[in-house]
Homo-oligomer: A and B are copies of this chain.
Amino acid sequence: MVTFAQVLYDFTAEPGNNELSVREGETITITNQNVGGGWIEAKNSRGEVGLVPEDYIEAQPFTSGGNAASLDLSLFDSHIPAPPSTAQTSNGNDPWAVFDSNASGGFSNNWAAQPEGTETGETSSSAWHSGGHGHPQAYQGPGAEDDEWDEEWDDVKSSGGYAESEAGEGGAIHRGGAHGSSMKIALNKFPGFSKSGPELYLLSKQPAKGTRLPVYGGEAGPVWAYPDYQLDCVVADPKKGTKMYGLKSYIEYQVTPTTTNKPVNHRYKHFDWLYERLLDKYGSAIPIPCLPDKQVTGRFEEEFIKMRMERLQGWMSRMCRHPVVSSSEVFQLFLSYKDEKDWKMGKRKAEKDETVGVMIFSTIEPEGLPDLDLIEVEQKCEQFNRFTRAMDDGVKDLLTVGNEHWKRCTGPLPKEYQRIGKAFQNLSSVFNSSGYEGEATLTDALTAAGKTYEDIAQMVAEQPKKDLHFLMETNNEYKGLLGCFPDTIGVHKAAIEKVKEADKLVATGKITTSEKITMSKRASTMSYALQAEMIHFHTNRIYDYNRVMQQYLEQQVKFYEMIAEKLRHAHSQFTTM
């Protein structure tokens, strides 16, 4: 089906990026909606084909997916088939659905709800992807266009187009093949009454293995044991390496811990391996956010690498800030790569670790804290559940608004200031031709004013990278973190339900009375872990949002002050003497 679009603004193609230069008012034929990254492929009247930024065109309502214009219309134009993903989205959008379903129900439906839990997982994880990917797409070029890199992306490239068809919700994209904490947990933890359910820990007889994780009573509540020295690391200096005689290329990032100050090199796949280990080991007790999206969002290698590095840095810093994660053996291994042999050994050891899944709770030791009764445990759990889901909504809302603002600031708005500037300069050159002596002052001033508005246009277009970018990144990070809670909390809810029916289990001789006591004692331990984690989350959240808002507003102030200053100077050049 042919789809036409009208060009709203002039766009000049960058050579070598198979872009297409178009003029305002021109009509083009859309040849591919699903290029992604905020671009569409189009053909002009001369039959030339190339990429055009989707914000620069206005499509007819018949278009399916792709750009905002057509999505708007799709809301009321029945001709438009809903994007294939919509169904999944509407439910997938809400990783919390599972708890709605069992809010009333008890143990069994909770178990029954687990398959849903799986999908939940997918979405919550891909939601982070989407955020992570959604906003860069507003300023980055088309997707998997010009790179045939490392295998590490092969699996996702395909999903690019499909992803685009939802750019509507502030670029929130839900990918089928998304891999993430929650899904993993779901898979290995909830096949009904499997060994990997919380009961594995609640009823476990074996002694705890591995480092013990104490929880102390803090001012605001239970807290993890924090190290005296706050670990951090710098991810920098990406280098392109090749393998298979240069057939395949990959990027190595340099990771330097502030402790040793000894840089180690890691590829994305090594980060991914670390993520998998942390997820398996701590996922039930600590939300382990996904790595930055595998999806290639960058139009140029540099752009893409820069963005990924920035996000790997964010991910690593967050892991460093977590007392439990940062002090873990596997994390230390990652930061202290000595030699291939040592690395391989450490890898094998980490992969053999048995204290994973719910068994992590067996290493947690509340220090001098009274056992909590089930009511308290459940209340806490519910409270955290309410808060994290509410914050998840708030963060997504901010991301949507921010993404739209980004598009306006980099699209229509600067174009408009540019045109105002041109109009002033144009008038100035007309005045110059008047042949009347002595209006040089006016014409010079008009030209200067025009140039000023052209400068402002550029400032407007570049500003989001200076402020909105960090606001978006921080919220994307939190979107990712929050996406993990439904599963973490799910484990606790499952445990609570289990303890609730302990009596029945005793009655039916499935467990002994002492086992029942152990169960509720362990549920209390799990709750202390969750509470310590929430306190950790809150303190970090308060710090992060204070910091990012300061940063954002500081840049905004500078921005408006600079504009005022420029205009003040332009003003000074006019005279009515």
Contacts and interface: CB of A to CB of B under 8 A. Distances in A.
Interface string A419-445: 110111011001101111111011001
Contacts of A436: 220, 534-535, 538, 542
A87 interface: no
Contacts of A431: 391, 541, 545
A401 interface: yes
Contacts of A574: 546, 549-550, 553
30 contacts: A6-B72, A6-B75, A6-B76, A8-B72, A386-B433, A390-B430, A391-B430, A394-B427, A395-B427, A398-B427, A401-B422, A402-B423, A408-B413, A431-B541, A431-B545, A441-B546, A442-B542, A449-B553, A543-B576, A546-B574, A546-B575, A549-B571, A553-B570, A553-B571, A553-B574, A557-B571, A560-B560, A560-B564, A560-B567, A561-B564
A232 interface: no
Given A75-B6, A387-B433, A571 B550 contact: yes
Nearest to A58: B72
Interface in A1-43: 4, 6, 8, 25, 27
Given A427-B545, A549-B574, 6 more contacts: A6-B76, A386-B433, A391-B427, A441-B546, A442-B545, A442-B546
Contacts of A401: 416, 419-420, 422-423
A442 B413 CA distance: 32
Contacts of A542: 436, 439, 442
A556 interface: yes
Among A72, A431, A554, A560, max chain B CB count under 10 A is at A560
A449 B6 contact: no
Contacts of A72: 6, 8, 58
Contact of A412 (B393, B408, B437, B561): B408
A568 B426 CA distance: 36
Chain A interface helix/strand/loop/mixed: helix
Among A390, A393, A412, max chain B CB count under 10 A is at A390
A527 to B, nearest CB: 15
A206 interface: no
A572 to B, nearest CB: 9
A202 to B, nearest CB: 26
Contacts of A77: 4, 60
Interface residues of A, number: 80
Contacts of A576: 543, 546-547, 550
A237 interface: no
Among A387, A408, A430, max chain B CB count under 10 A is at A430
Contacts of A424: 398
A446 interface: yes
B430 A394 contact: yes
Contacts of A568: 553, 557
A391 to B, nearest CB: 5
A71 to B, nearest CB: 10
A424 B408 CA distance: 19
A301 interface: no
